[in-house]
Copies of this chain bind each other. A is one copy, B any other.
Amino acid sequence: MNKSIGVCLIGAGRAGMIHAMNFAGKTPGAHMAAVVDIDVQAAKDAAARLEIDKFYTDYKHVLDDGAVNAVVIVSPTNLHKQIVIDCANAKKHVFCEKPMAMDVAECDAMIAACEENGVKLQIGFMRRHDESFQEAKRLLDEGAVGELVQIHSCTRGPSKPRPWMYDLKKSNGILAEVNSHDIDSVRWFSGSEYKSLYAIGGNYRNREVAAQYPDYYDSVLMNGVMRSGVQFSIDGAAYIQYGYDSRVELVGSKGTIHVGRSNRDFTTCATVENGISSAFIRSWTDLFRDAYLREDIGFISSIQSDTPPLVTGRDGRMAVEAVYAGNESIATGKIVHLNDD
């Protein structure tokens, strides 16, 4: 048997702790070795919850820590590049959350560092690990709906954006924060790269920041064509409030596949006042809980078996490129043609 992989979480927020709890008890061949957060109390609390002793406020301490074999990076996006490169140089395997980085140049540097050091680089597009998505991909690849023609993918998040997200220089907008999953799904299902796209954005739900952040958009539509000729359509929204609303449709030449669910649980109630009603799924943490676990298991398995991860640095990079192109289209009001790479 392989020795157990010691994992260090860098960034102990909500998404980070989902991964950490997975590695702590549910992922064969792994254990939590340490946790890092710049907020000392957050780091301490996370360690306590994970039932481990070791916590840091500076990720640099991890670089020399022999008990750490792999890092899970869930820090703000603008810090990803440096952390990944440092960890790669320290021979730590890297799981980096999406969006991978602020621009393509950063992505390329991160990929190069990991390749040079012979460490894995997995990006957090967990939908590829989701059972429903995998079933859809299997049906598609088997030809159940003929040849792929169109992909429609939508993601709408419930929560008020955190203040830093209004600044597109920091967040790259909801195309990065919300829709990079859709952007990756379109690539994954089509097996092709973005050729051209057109996007429009607008601020409808957060108008109180419109004066200060005129570029901010909370609603976006983007359509275009992949190099293979497949058409795609993505829509996104932030602060929809009623729940986490995400679905994909794959239109084939002789059938259509639909992926998604909306119900929080499987209870419906019929009354005079409300008709038939059920609760909406609250959050991506509910919808993709199992996908996160499978993703984490996949990361460890990729290390243990020395095989490529299901979602690579290149996948992260290509999504960043499409986010850039989408933001450029919104800003200029023009169609963007992506360069061959």
Select the stretch in A57-65, A82-90, A175-183, A199-207 that faces chain B.
A199-207
Distance of A261 from chain B, by nearest CB (Å): 4
Q: Which chain A residues numbered 197 to 227 have a C-beta less than 8 Å away from chain B?
A: 198, 200, 202, 204-205, 219, 221-225
Contact: A225 with B245, CB < 8 Å?
A: no
Contact: A131 with B265, CB < 8 Å?
A: yes
Chain B residues near A136 (CB-CB < 8 A)? 267
Chain B residues near A225 (CB-CB < 8 A)? 200, 202
Contact: B255 with A269, CB < 8 Å?
A: yes
A335 to B265: give the CA distance in the assembly, Å. Answer: 37
Knowing A235-B233, A274-B274 are in contact, say whether A221-B219 is a contact too (CB < 8 A).
no
Chain B residues near A139 (CB-CB < 8 A)? 267, 269
Knowing A198-B198, A242-B256 are in contact, say whether A265-B223 is a contact too (CB < 8 A).
no
Q: Does A53 contact B (CB under 8 A)?
A: no
Distance of A266 from chain B, by nearest CB (Å): 4
Distance of A124 from chain B, by nearest CB (Å): 21
Contact: B255 with A231, CB < 8 Å?
A: no
Chain B residues near A312 (CB-CB < 8 A)? none
- Tell me the interface secondary structure of chain A in the complex: strand
Chain B residues near A269 (CB-CB < 8 A)? 139, 144-145, 255-258
- Produce 1/0 per residue, A121-153, CB < 8 A to B: 000000000011101100100001101011010
Closest residue of chain B to A231, judged by CB? B221
Chain B residues near A280 (CB-CB < 8 A)? 270, 275-276
Q: Does A326 contact B (CB under 8 A)?
A: no
Contact: B223 with A272, CB < 8 Å?
A: no
Q: Does A333 contact B (CB under 8 A)?
A: yes
| Interface size classification for chain A | 35 or more
Q: Which chain A residues numbered 23 to 44 have a C-beta less than 8 Å away from chain B?
A: 24-26
Contact: A135 with B253, CB < 8 Å?
A: no
Chain B residues near A251 (CB-CB < 8 A)? 156, 219, 235, 237, 240
**Most B Cβ at <10 Å: residue of A156, A221, A261:** A221
11 further A-B contacts with Cβ under 8 Å, apart from A149-B219, A219-B251, are A25-B26, A26-B26, A135-B265, A147-B204, A205-B254, A240-B254, A241-B255, A242-B254, A258-B268, A259-B266, A335-B335
Interchain residue pairs A-B with the least CB separation, the first 6: A25-B25, A255-B271, A277-B277, A261-B266, A132-B265, A132-B266
Interface set of A (CB-CB < 8 Å, partner B): 24-26, 131-133, 135-136, 139, 144-145, 147, 149-150, 152, 154, 156, 198, 200, 202, 204-205, 219, 221-225, 229, 231-233, 235, 237, 240-243, 245, 251, 253-272, 274-280, 333-335
